[in-house]
A and B are shown apart, each in its own frame.
Chain A
């Protein structure tokens, strides 16, 4: 099937009222995410409470690092999410470019600040963790360096999308950049690792304690789910705001926006 034919078939699916594809329409998307986001927010709160309690009170202290290792419960989920958000951004960019769905681009826009935030959290908690355990806030380790470069990629994406005034071009330019970036992320990681093994002798070791207790693994899992839920909720809410902004010409969007501002149709 040619791309054009496939696109046509997809567009037909998007119009049909029973297909899942209909949520590509801004109005349907707004309705669906309005239903979903609060659930994810609630799940995030609950999981953060459980995970936080487990991280501080249930998980045993590490036999080598003592209490300071507990920062791992936010550090590792943040680092995971920072990479997943970038991949998701590239994914929505590809979907948007191939299917011509405006909402996909808005999902990509909405993901960028959250991804950048997790990148920053991972770097910051990593620095705070590194000082007491390795004696330095920063080492030119492969993982840290590529995390920093990932943050720059996020900032570049956000800056590009903000700088282009025409929405259609901003959407697509951002998608192209996200795709190019996502191809480069593994290359950057590989090259930095290669560079690092050549240049850095035995200074700091990143290896953690050889085995993790079950309670530690479970706590980490709960915290990861919490971070996931938080990210989904926030991204959906941000995407909803972007949809309203972008669809300001449509009656339904204006009504929704006015209802939220507490104004009337005339205002």
Chain B
């Protein structure tokens, strides 16, 4: 069972590495959009420092959204998904492997890159720590909720735009707690509650989202 899990993770990694241009697009998008905001709101340092957590969180969230349509698209097109669903291995297992691999290649780079971008906003040093921490805790939730949406829109026309409409309202709680944790830390307020809520939300999403995701995947394969 563990070897199967690892095999799926390795496969996803190899596939991600071979199409690394796709991943670079999401990362470049993240950098580009984060640099756009100062042009829009002005270069006042105090203002930038204040809005940095929110802007970087929103931008990271949109970058994750950008990678979601590809999550099942290829496997669905070439029939891999159908084979996985038919296989004797438990479906939650390979789904967990796929989602973990996707999170590692698409969200973790964002979390690592975020402090660098935060430097452009002249932030306090605590923000440089809190941004990656909150992104680590919160982005799994985005991947998990997004996976349900990605499974629902498989093969649907203008699916990527539809996906944004489906999942962005559901991302709001993650954004609120993530950005607010960073902002509270910046103001010297306690953040343990925020982090606990983010981690708890991720665990709840990990327990519930795969059900919806698998039901939607079965539906996509059947039709």
Binding site for B on A (CB under 8 A): 97, 149, 152-153, 155-156, 159-160, 163-164, 166, 168-169, 172-173, 176-177, 179-181, 183-184, 187-188, 190-192, 194-195, 198
Whether a CB of chain A sits under 8 angstroms from the CB of B46 is no
**Cβ of B168: which chain A residues have Cβ within 8 Å of it?**
152
Whether a CB of chain A sits under 8 angstroms from the CB of B158 is yes
Q: Contact: A176 with B170, CB < 8 Å? A: no
**Cβ of B219: which chain A residues have Cβ within 8 Å of it?**
169, 172-173, 176
Chain B window 189-223, contacts with chain A (Cβ cutoff 8 Å), 1 for yes, 0 for no: 00000000000000000001100100110011011
**Cβ of A169: which chain B residues have Cβ within 8 Å of it?**
219-220, 222-223
- Cα A187 to Cα B175 in complex, Å, equals 12
- Cα A187 to Cα B201 in complex, Å, equals 10
Q: How far is the CB of B124 from chain A (nearest CB, A)?
A: 19
Q: 15 A-B contacts, Cβ less than 8 Å apart?
A: A97-B215, A155-B165, A156-B166, A156-B169, A159-B165, A163-B158, A169-B222, A180-B145, A180-B212, A181-B169, A183-B208, A190-B173, A191-B173, A191-B177, A192-B172
Q: Contact: B148 with A180, CB < 8 Å? A: yes
Q: Contact: B223 with A168, CB < 8 Å? A: yes
**Cβ of A188: which chain B residues have Cβ within 8 Å of it?**
169-170, 172-173
Q: How far is the CB of B157 from chain A (nearest CB, A)?
A: 6
Q: Contact: B162 with A191, CB < 8 Å? A: no
**Cβ of A164: which chain B residues have Cβ within 8 Å of it?**
156
**Cβ of B25: which chain A residues have Cβ within 8 Å of it?**
none
**Cβ of B177: which chain A residues have Cβ within 8 Å of it?**
191
| A-facing residues in B107-128 (Cβ within 8 Å) | none
Contact among A179, A180, A192 for B176, CB-based, below 8 A: A192
> Given A156-B169, A160-B166, does the pair A176, B212 have CB atoms closer than 8 Å?
yes
Whether a CB of chain A sits under 8 angstroms from the CB of B153 is yes
**Cβ of A176: which chain B residues have Cβ within 8 Å of it?**
148, 152, 212, 215-216, 219
**Cβ of A149: which chain B residues have Cβ within 8 Å of it?**
169, 172
